[in-house]
């Protein structure tokens, strides 16, 4: 099941979310649009996300990041849109100092009447950073990918309330991943080219029945079907002497059957959760254990979050996710292939206005831990990746139009796969003008 739960890692390497948190205050309420521009200086001690050694390179740099947003409503229709561009110059990086990224977001929400509502979302990113490229869900590829890499996700949901007690949600989501980056030296014997191991189309169909148990409590019984189709004709097997293994070996269908609960304990404390079973079928995986279904074809599924607004200008969100996800790691020296990972993710996000009497100073903290177990093959089956993300940001609003920020982000990957682990420290400070 695909839900719009933003990864806490999206705040990494730029604190985009913190800047947008000030947008309404800074731009005022006299117009539905706003323009912004950010100038940052930064230091990155491992911009290629490589293990300790000669491949771990560092650099100071500067970032220019203009953007625009729209928040427009007319009667039953709400439209939100934004575009953010980033140009980073790594002073000490040889052979290509510049990074460019694009982020386009769109939401259209229309209520036909009190009982029927349609929502459409569109998200397009061009980036090199794993948390941005992944979007929601587990991070299946925790390394930087140089060059242009694209993810486009579109979703449409229709909600209908057929009675006071019963409603339904019907949804469809489509995600396209297109990687063009080249492998770093440490990955050459671990993974096929990114375009082979990661380029894919994901389609998800969802139907939920929603039961109003009490005014503050909604029960959910749902089903989600997902189809993942790898679109590269390349060879996953990089080891010499073994048969050609098309990336379509990893094509799969998954079925999520789950129960859910949404409950407001207090006006400031709410819970949303879904838990059930996930069944995955690798229908082309002739060499996978279990007759082509991959290792651990039936497993648990969970998506839980608890949000507490403990002050007017302070909130904390705690969440947990459990599901299978795709992986870039594939070939084994003995010729068998890794199919996927089973990932458990815990995350927390805290946003707090430091001075309660003034909205000018805001602090944000983010943390995420993800444990991922490889399934399939004989070399990596049962091996693990542990992925840590931490981010801290402090932002001060000087005037309606001008703010400053300082922040720090830390990422660490511990892996049983040789040559994959790394640590990364990223420090930045800058100013943002908003109109």
| Of residues 400 and 16, more confidently modeled | 400
Q: What is the Cα–Cα distance from 78 to 70, expressed in whole angstroms?
A: 10
- Segment among 1-5, 65-69, 142-146, 335-339 with least mean pLDDT: 1-5
pLDDT at position 12 is 40
Q: What is the pLDDT of residues 280-333, one digit of tens each?
A: 988 876 544 333 334 447 889 999 999 998 776 788 999 999 988 888 886 655
Q: Which two tokens stand for residue 379?
A: 């070399």
Place of tokens 């000490």: 92
Length in residues, the chain = 435
Q: What is the Cα–Cα distance from 1 to 206, expressed in whole angstroms?
A: 7
Q: What is the pLDDT of residues 73-98, one digit of tens each?
A: 999 999 999 999 999 999 998 877 89
Question: Is residue 424 within 8 Å of 410, Cβ to Cβ?
Answer: yes
| Of residues 46 and 290, more confidently modeled | 46
Q: What percent of the chain has pLDDT over 70?
A: 84
pLDDT at position 291 is 35
* 3-state secondary structure at position 431: strand
- Contacts within 8 Å (CB) and 24+ apart, 231-237: 231/199, 231/200, 231/201, 232/195, 232/196, 232/199, 234/192, 234/193, 234/195, 234/196, 235/192, 235/196, 236/192, 236/196, 236/197, 236/330, 236/331, 236/337, 237/192, 237/330, 237/331, 237/335, 237/337
pLDDT at position 187 is 61
pLDDT at position 67 is 98
Q: What is the pLDDT of residues 182-203, one digit of tens each?
A: 666 556 555 678 888 889 999 9
Q: What is the Cα–Cα distance from 61 to 79, expressed in whole angstroms?
A: 36
- Segment among 9-23, 144-158, 323-337, 360-374 with least mean pLDDT: 9-23
Question: What does the DSSP assignment read for 170-182?
Answer: EEEEEEEEEE-PP
Average pLDDT, integer, range 237-242: 70
pLDDT at position 250 is 85
pTM of the complete model: 0.85
CATH code of domain 8-434 = 2.40.160
Q: What is the dihedral of CA 229, 233, 235, 236, to 10 degrees?
A: -10
pLDDT at 240 over 90: no
Question: Is residue 135 within 8 Å of 124, Cβ to Cβ?
Answer: no
Q: Strands (DSSP E) along 252-360, which ranges?
A: 252-266, 269-281, 298-311, 314-325, 340-353
pLDDT at 5 over 60: no
pLDDT at 132 over 90: no
pLDDT at position 26 is 39
Helix %, strand %, coil % of the chain (to 5) = 5, 60, 35
pLDDT at 25 over 70: no
pLDDT at position 355 is 65
**Nearest of 172, 163, 165 to residue 115 by alpha carbon:** 163
* CA–CA distances in Å: residue 160 to residues 68, 117, 250, 418: 33, 7, 36, 51
Q: What percent of the chain has pLDDT over 90?
A: 58
Q: List the domain boundaries for the chain.
A: 8-434
pLDDT at position 248 is 85
Q: What is the pLDDT of residues 367-413, one digit of tens each?
A: 999 999 988 777 788 889 999 999 999 999 999 999 999 999 999 99
Q: CB neighbours of 253 closer than 8 A, spacing ≥ 6?
A: 225, 226, 227, 228, 280, 281, 283
pLDDT at position 6 is 36
């Amino acid at each position: 099941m695909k839900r719009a739960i933003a990864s806490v890692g999206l705040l990494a390497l730029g604190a985009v979310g913190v800047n947008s948190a000030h947008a309404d205050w800074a731009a005022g309420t006299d117009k539905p649009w706003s323009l912004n521009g950010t100038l940052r200086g930064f230091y990155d001690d491992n911009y290629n996300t490589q293990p300790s050694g000669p491949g771990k390179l560092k650099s100071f740099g500067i970032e220019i990041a203009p953007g625009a947003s729209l928040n427009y409503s007319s009667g039953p229709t709400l439209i939100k849109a934004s575009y953010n561009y980033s140009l980073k110059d790594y002073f000490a990086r040889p052979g290509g100092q510049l990074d460019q990224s694009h982020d386009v977001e769109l939401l259209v929400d229309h209520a036909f009447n009190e009982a029927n509502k349609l929502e459409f979302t569109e998200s397009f990113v061009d980036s090199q950073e794993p948390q941005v490229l992944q979007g929601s869900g587990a991070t299946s590829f925790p390394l930087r990918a140089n060059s242009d890499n694209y993810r486009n996700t579109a979703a449409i949901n229709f909600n209908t309330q057929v009675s006071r007690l019963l409603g339904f949600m019907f949804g469809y989501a489509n995600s396209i991943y297109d990687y063009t980056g080249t492998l770093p030296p440490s990955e050459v014997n671990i993974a096929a080219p990114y375009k082979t191991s990661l380029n894919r189309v994901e389609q998800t169909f969802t139907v939920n029945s929603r039961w109003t148990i009490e005014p503050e409590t909604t029960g959910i019984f749902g089903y989600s079907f997902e189809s993942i189709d790898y679109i590269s004709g390349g060879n996953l097997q990089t080891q010499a002497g073994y048969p050609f293994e098309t990336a379509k070996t990893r094509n799969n269908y998954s079925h999520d059957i789950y129960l859910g609960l949404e409950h407001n304990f207090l006006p400031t404390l709410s819970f949303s959760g879904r838990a059930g079973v996930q069944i995955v079928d690798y229908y082309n995986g002739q060499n996978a254990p279990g007759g082509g279904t991959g290792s651990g074809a039936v497993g648990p599924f969970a998506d839980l979050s608890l949000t507490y607004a403990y002050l007017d200008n302070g909130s904390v969100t705690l969440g947990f996710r459990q599901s299978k996800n795709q992986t870039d790691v594939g070939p084994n020296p003995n010729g068998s292939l890794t199919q996927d990972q089973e990932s458990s993710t815990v995350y927390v996000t805290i946003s707090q206005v430091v001075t309660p009497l003034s909205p000018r100073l805001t602090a944000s903290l983010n943390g995420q831990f993800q444990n991922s177990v490889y399934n399939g093959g004989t070399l990596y089956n049962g091996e693990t990746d542990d992925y840590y993300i931490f981010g801290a940001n402090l932002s001060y609003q000087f005037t309606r139009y001008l703010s400053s920020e300082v922040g720090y982000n830390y990422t660490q990957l511990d892996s049983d796969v040789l040559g994959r682990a790394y640590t990364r420290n990223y420090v930045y400070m800058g100013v943002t003008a908003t109109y």
